[in-house]
Amino acid sequence: MSVAQPPFHRVAVIGLGLIGGSLASAIRKQGLAEVVVGFDARRDELSLGVELGVIDLAADSVEGAVAGCDLVVLAVPVRATRQVLSDIKPVLEEGVILSDVGSTKSSFVADVEAVFGELPSWVIPGHPIAGSEKSGIRAAQAELFANHKVILTPADNANQAGVARLKRLWEGTGATVLTMSAAYHDEVLAATSHLPHLIAFSLVDTLAGEDENMDIFRYAAGGFRDFTRIAASDPVMWHDIFLSNREAVLRGIDHFTEDLGRLRCAIANGDGAELLRVFSRAKAARDHFSKMLSGQAYVTTNIDNQVTFHMQPGGAVNGDIRVPGDKSMSHRSIMLGALAEGTTEVKGFLEGEDSLATLQAFRDMGVTIEGPEEGFVRIHGVGMNGLQAPRGQLYLGNSGTAMRLFAGLLAAQKFDSELSGDASLSKRPMGRVADPLRAMGAVIETADGGRPPLKIRGGHELTGIHYEMPVASAQVKSCLLLAGLYAEGVTSVTEPAPTRDHTERMLEGFGYHVHRDGATASVTGGGKLTACSIDVPADISSAAFFLVAASIAEGSDLTLRHVGMNPTRVGVINILKQMGANIEVMNESVIGGEPVADLRVRSAALRGIEIPEEQVPLAIDEFPVLFIAAVCAEGRTVLRGAEELRVKESDRIQVMADGLANLGVETTVTSDGIIIDGGQEIGSGTVESYGDHRISMSFAVASLRATGAIRINDCANVATSFPGFVELALKTGIRINAEGND
């Protein structure tokens, strides 16, 4: 790539080690400046710089290097910074930008302040997170920064045009540029880079010291090599870094020493449970990190992980499949399993990002959880009062269920906690749980408008209340029942219409009695949960996409296995049947208190209906795909009483109407529903799903009846509820191609 107008004319790179040399090389190779001048106090490195083509010109002195430059980058050992700054101060040009590549930023700022008496607006500290255990100009390579991150730490007064130019320069090397404060940078780097280096140096030194002939290294295999690779890094550079980032590193060392001490104790005492807890938590974190690195986990990549579905029109849907486990039950299995006494085993657990967020949060609160592996999870319950304070915020990704149910549980703990989520979750209303919890005595702070994050203060005794829910919400009901397990007396919740009752059923499964009287469910606080086995059926909400797909696509015949048929969830089947769908319910059974069946669905001529309002809460998550069924039906479909759809992962009424409009289908949006005249042609076009998994999958289904190709943007979140959707859809005959990471 060459840059038409380079961001800088003349760049001086002071210090031609691995990083300085690689930067100079990249600037030259990518045409990011007209001239690159280099200086290094080591004369042989300097002449090598010219010889290897790393720099255009070698300067005789540091002052000579910076004269006439509009960018000066210090790539010297951190402890040499102050001297170099004093040397170049008198010769810096008007309009220059001064930056660096050092691993500690507060120390750079302190050096600048010491030399200049202030932090001038044209000083913009930087740090490329790239390197290798090799050092010196011979190891320099122009590609070193490609696909790496570069952190800039401009102060509040920084020259913004300068920041933009420097950003362009680094982006030109192939890097991604982030900005943050110098202090935060140092804290993060102390934990993620400096501490690991220290431990690697120390371990190799300890082992080498124990074995004078270093015989031991002859037997050292991959584990040793992997773990200690970084102990071959440049000792001078690292000695500088530790001395410069003293405070943050000391905090990291103390933390680590304490944790190591705890592991030592566990081994000494034969405490296998503690070892298993730490190792399984660490493994999960490491697996998650690997996913982050390969861009698979939406929770960290939802900003830049773009997945696009490209749909080809037509096709029939056939086969015999099982969709992944029920999301609602997967969340609850972890929550109740964690609070139970004994070990709970779960089969069919949904390995989607939402339920994994719940699982991770309990690990963060000290619960040992093995798996998930092929849907199997083993939870070592800690009892009602065994949760530990998490070290940081509990990040719940896209999951409204997790956040609302957690609010109930955490309001009753002894410790403080903070719940946060992604951009979509951060817009969703939490006042609906915070308000009744406050009435029980909880202390909860929300952001403006009752939105996340939720800050929950621990140590407040809760008292049971009776609550008449203004909206039919299983999440609110479940939240209050969970809080009620800890509250003094009875907590009862009355719902305006039946909502999913998995919490009530599962509590009974764990031996906790839930009194049910019509629309009211109540629990008496102070009891305990006893571990059990849970078999999570396939999620009817995921099956729904295929129920509609096989109904609308001619020549379809599909069997869906082991689908959860809880009567509070079967609205989609009731509605589709009323529209004329051909759905056969087979092999009905009850497993672990939940009805399950196989469903055979064949193509059918659908007709529009007035959707009965009492079915709305029973099909609340299935409306996006039901709208597609309505478009393919003959006659008018009218939905009312569904304003809740507007506060789901997206405003599902508006987003569906907009997407359909892009495909040439007209609808009438009302405040609490939609009117769809069936029989309209679905054309080709581009649809925005706004990161809402169910919108993405609904339009994928629509392609079966489209006349042209459909592009669906922003589909990464399909992984929240339906990992493997693309593969399964392809297998049944849906013509889908996913671009990006799925």
Q: How far apart are CA 464 and CA 133, in angstroms?
A: 60
Distance of CA 509 to the CA centre of its chain: 31
Find the shortest distance in angstroms from Cβ 205 to ligand S3P: 52
The residue range among 219-227, 473-481, 512-520, 590-598 that interacts with ligand S3P, by the rule CB under 6 A, is 473-481
Contact string 565-604 vs ligand S3P (x = CB under 6 A): ----------------------------------------
Contacting ligand S3P within 508-547 (CB under 6 A): none
Question: Residue 171 or residue 504: which is nearer to ligand S3P going by CB?
Answer: 504
Residue 654, marked binder: no
Question: Residue 145 or residue 627: which is nearer to ligand S3P going by CB?
Answer: 627
Residue-by-residue DSSP string for 149-211: EEEE---TT--HHHHHHHHHHHHHTT-EEEE--HHHHHHHHIIIIIHHHHHHHHHHHHHHHH-
Peptide bond into 453 cis (omega under 30): yes
Question: Residue 345 or residue 621: which is nearer to ligand S3P going by CB?
Answer: 621
Question: Considering 539, 621, 692, 714, which one is annotated as catalytic?
Answer: 621
Find the shortest distance in angstroms from Cβ 136 to ligand S3P: 56
Question: Residue 103 or residue 401: which is nearer to ligand S3P going by CB?
Answer: 401
- What is the chain's Cα-based Rg? 30
Find the shortest distance in angstroms from Cβ 186 to ligand S3P: 41
Q: How far apart are CA 410 and CA 302, in angstroms?
A: 26
Number of residues that bind ligand S3P (CB under 6 A): 10
Residue 448, marked binder: no
Strand 35-39's sheet: what is its strand order?
57-58, 35-39, 10-14, 71-74, 97-100
Find the shortest distance in angstroms from Cβ 512 to ligand S3P: 17
The residue range among 122-130, 470-478, 508-516, 519-527 that interacts with ligand S3P, by the rule CB under 6 A, is 470-478
Q: Is 621 a catalytic residue?
A: yes
Question: Residue 380 or residue 648: which is nearer to ligand S3P going by CB?
Answer: 648
Q: Which of 474, 544, 653, 660 binds ligand S3P (CB under 6 A)?
A: 474
Contacting ligand S3P within 322-361 (CB under 6 A): 328
Find the shortest distance in angstroms from Cβ 644 to ligand S3P: 6
Residue 244, marked binder: no
Which residues make Cβ contacts (< 8 Å) with residue 169, sequence separation at least 6? Answer: 7, 8, 27, 32, 33, 71
Question: Residue 158 or residue 437: which is nearer to ligand S3P going by CB?
Answer: 437
Q: How many CA atoms lie within 13 A of 346 on its CB side?
A: 35
Q: How far apart are CA 633 and CA 631, in angstroms?
A: 6
Which amino acid, 160?
Answer: Q
Contacting ligand S3P within 644-673 (CB under 6 A): 644
Token pair recorded at residue 456: 């929950």
The residue range among 116-124, 369-377, 467-475, 574-582 that interacts with ligand S3P, by the rule CB under 6 A, is 467-475
Which residues sit opposite 463 in a β-bridge?
488
Asked if residue 475 binds ligand S3P (CB under 6 A), the reply is: yes
Closest CA to 393 of 429, 356, 366, 421: 421
Whether the CB-CB separation of 400 and 475 falls below 8 Å is answered with yes
Question: Residue 131 or residue 436: which is nearer to ligand S3P going by CB?
Answer: 436
Question: Residue 473 or residue 542: which is nearer to ligand S3P going by CB?
Answer: 473
Q: Which residue has the tokens 């020259």?
A: 159
Find the shortest distance in angstroms from Cβ 536 to ligand S3P: 12
CA dihedral for 128, 421, 354, 372, sign (positive or negative): positive
Residue 400, marked binder: yes
Neighbours of 554 (CB within 10 A): 13
Residue 234, marked binder: no
Find the shortest distance in angstroms from Cβ 665 to ligand S3P: 25
Find the shortest distance in angstroms from Cβ 711 to ligand S3P: 26
Contact string 607-626 vs ligand S3P (x = CB under 6 A): -------------xx-----
Strand 533-535's sheet: what is its strand order?
368-373, 376-380, 343-347, 533-535
The residue range among 184-192, 461-469, 472-480, 683-691 that interacts with ligand S3P, by the rule CB under 6 A, is 472-480
Q: Which of 25, 81, 478, 650 binds ligand S3P (CB under 6 A)?
A: 478
Q: Which residue has the tokens 């000579």?
A: 64
Question: Residue 327 or residue 460: which is nearer to ligand S3P going by CB?
Answer: 327
Find the shortest distance in angstroms from Cβ 475 to ligand S3P: 3
Residue 435, marked binder: no
Three-state DSSP at 713 gives strand
Q: How far apart are CA 80 and CA 61, in angstroms?
A: 15
Asked if residue 500 binds ligand S3P (CB under 6 A), the reply is: yes
Q: How far apart are CA 30 and CA 3, in angstroms?
A: 7
Closest CA to 277 of 258, 262, 255, 299: 262
Whether the CB-CB separation of 597 and 572 falls below 8 Å is answered with no
Which residues make Cβ contacts (< 8 Å) with residue 682, sequence separation at least 6? Answer: 631, 632, 660, 663, 664, 665, 702, 703, 705, 706, 707
Contact string 171-200 vs ligand S3P (x = CB under 6 A): ------------------------------
Asked if residue 280 binds ligand S3P (CB under 6 A), the reply is: no
Contacting ligand S3P within 397-456 (CB under 6 A): 401
Find the shortest distance in angstroms from Cβ 424 to ligand S3P: 13
Asked if residue 473 binds ligand S3P (CB under 6 A), the reply is: yes
Question: Residue 99 or residue 475: which is nearer to ligand S3P going by CB?
Answer: 475
Q: How far apart are CA 565 and CA 46, in angstroms?
A: 74
Which residues make Cβ contacts (< 8 Å) with residue 323, sequence separation at least 6? Answer: 538, 539, 542, 543, 546, 560, 563, 722, 728
Whether the CB-CB separation of 575 and 615 falls below 8 Å is answered with yes
Asked if residue 380 binds ligand S3P (CB under 6 A), the reply is: no
Residue 735, marked binder: no
Whether the CB-CB separation of 525 and 484 falls below 8 Å is answered with yes
Contacting ligand S3P within 383-402 (CB under 6 A): 401
Catalytic residue list: 621
Going by the annotation, the residues of the binding site for phosphoenolpyruvate are 327, 400, 428, 475, 652, 694
- Residue ranges that bind ligand S3P, judged by CB under 6 A: 328, 401, 473-475, 478, 500, 620-621, 644
Going by the annotation, the residues of the binding site for 3-phosphoshikimate are 327-328, 332, 473, 475, 621, 648
